[in-house]
Amino acid sequence: MKIFYKSFINFFLVKFFLLRDRYKIIFLMFHGVMDLKGSPAWQPLRPQLSPTTLDEYLRILSRYFSFVTIDHALEMLTGKVPLQPYSIVLTFDDGLRNFKEHALPVLEKYKAPATVYVATNHVEQQIPFWFDRLDYALQLLDGEPYSVNIGNEIITFVPGDREALAKAYKQMRYSIKKKQISDEEMQDLLYSTATLIEKKYGRSLKDIIASDPWCGIMNWSELKELAAAGITVGSHTVNHCRLAFVTPEKAEQELQNSKRAIEENLGLACNHFCYPIGSCNGQVADLVREAGYQSAVTTKYGFNRIGDDPMKLCRFHVPYGTDGEGVETLLYRISGLEAFFSKIKRFFIWKKS
């Protein structure tokens, strides 16, 4: 009975909050979509969204929202066309090959347009991202705990304990986001750490990337197929750089060269950008605008309103649904209820202290 009341109240609260914010555009952020069934050779530490969960999300979202292209969303946000209430935009970072196999059929089922952001050097060279290479390498470890110093923060990985390993890996990725270290230095540190472990164990994600179902990256001909199927292809830089931690000259190169590579290889305009690791600031946003992009998405949580800077679009993280409460969490998040409740919680904690 208690559960019934809880669901009843939640349903109306979500409905009310969605109605309140219907003129704000929601952007959702996805990464890989992977079928967890079968027995793959390895499984990444970072959580994965299954096609079944994606299907469930889009089924529920299609009840409340209209899926719109990023171009349409932008026209609405800049006031060129009237804002259509309950609009939602789907974005997928990194250009992983599993998008084509597992996400595209679900998107087509719900007639949901989407944008995929690719880092062009990874597309061309078919090389894995540092976070995937490290994910793979860390799971090769055995014996003694292994420590990495990231900007004076020591992160220790304990071999054999997957849960502890996943926690430390998450902590490492979180730390990297905030560290005031040049991107070049950071990438050197991460790639050399992966290389060191790979050498010791004689295995590397680099060697299996072409057929790896988790981390394989789409090539130009696959991206061409996607574009022909109506998927928007945007830039995610050349080298997946944290743009707030490179020189303005390097940022310009990353922005212009990736745009050019996409346009030359796909024969289409590349108007949309996504900041790797969400790394952006006012100067970087200006450089994105000057490079000729019409929009740029961040990893900042929140809604997008008419008149907001299109170079700093907010997105909501999509829950992975591994705890069986994916849909509820998603609706709580995108209705603004999650933020509302955490504000109330913070208020009471402040009152108590």
Cα 324 to Cα 327: distance, rounded to the nearest angstrom: 8
Which residues, in sequence order, are bridge partners of residue 273?
235, 296
CB 233, CB 268: distance < 8 Å: yes
If one asks whether residue 132 binds Zn ion (CB under 5 A), the answer comes out as: no
Decide: is 198 part of the binding site for Zn ion (CB under 5 A).
no
Distance (Å, whole) CA 88 – CA 214: 26
Pick 93 or 183: Cβ nearer Zn ion: 93
Which lies closer to Zn ion via its Cβ, residue 87 or residue 298? Answer: 298
Identify which range of 4-12, 85-93, 154-162, 173-181 contacts Zn ion by CB under 5 A: 85-93
Please report, as residue ranges, which positions from 87 to 126 form the binding site for Zn ion (by CB under 5 A). 93-94
CA distance 209 to 222: 16
Which residue of this chain has its Cβ atom nearest to Zn ion in the complex? Answer: 93
Nearer to Zn ion, 276 or 326 (CB): 276
- Does 276 bind Zn ion (CB under 5 A)? Our answer is yes
Segment near Zn ion (CB under 5 A); pick from 220-228, 246-254, 276-284, 304-312: 276-284
Q: Which stretch binds Zn ion (CB under 5 A): 101-109, 212-220, 271-279, 315-323?
A: 271-279
Task: Compute and round to an integer the Cα radius of gyration of the chain.
Answer: 21
CA-to-CA distance for 190 and 177, rounded, in angstroms? 13
- The nearest distance, CB 237 to Zn ion, in angstroms, is 9
Q: If we measure between CA atoms, which residue out of 137, 285, 257, 267 comes closest to residue 197?
A: 137
Q: Which is nearer to Zn ion, 24 or 236 (CB)?
A: 236
DSSP line for 295-306: EEE-S--S-B-T
Check binding of 55 to Zn ion (CB under 5 A): no
CB of 277 to Zn ion, least distance (A): 7
Residue 95 carries which DSSP code?
Answer: T
Lookup: tokens for 328: 């509820």
Q: Count of residues binding Zn ion (CB under 5 A)?
A: 3
Q: Which is nearer to Zn ion, 93 or 135 (CB)?
A: 93
Q: 85 or 278: whose CB is closer to Zn ion? A: 278
**Interacting residues with Zn ion (CB under 5 A):** 93-94, 276
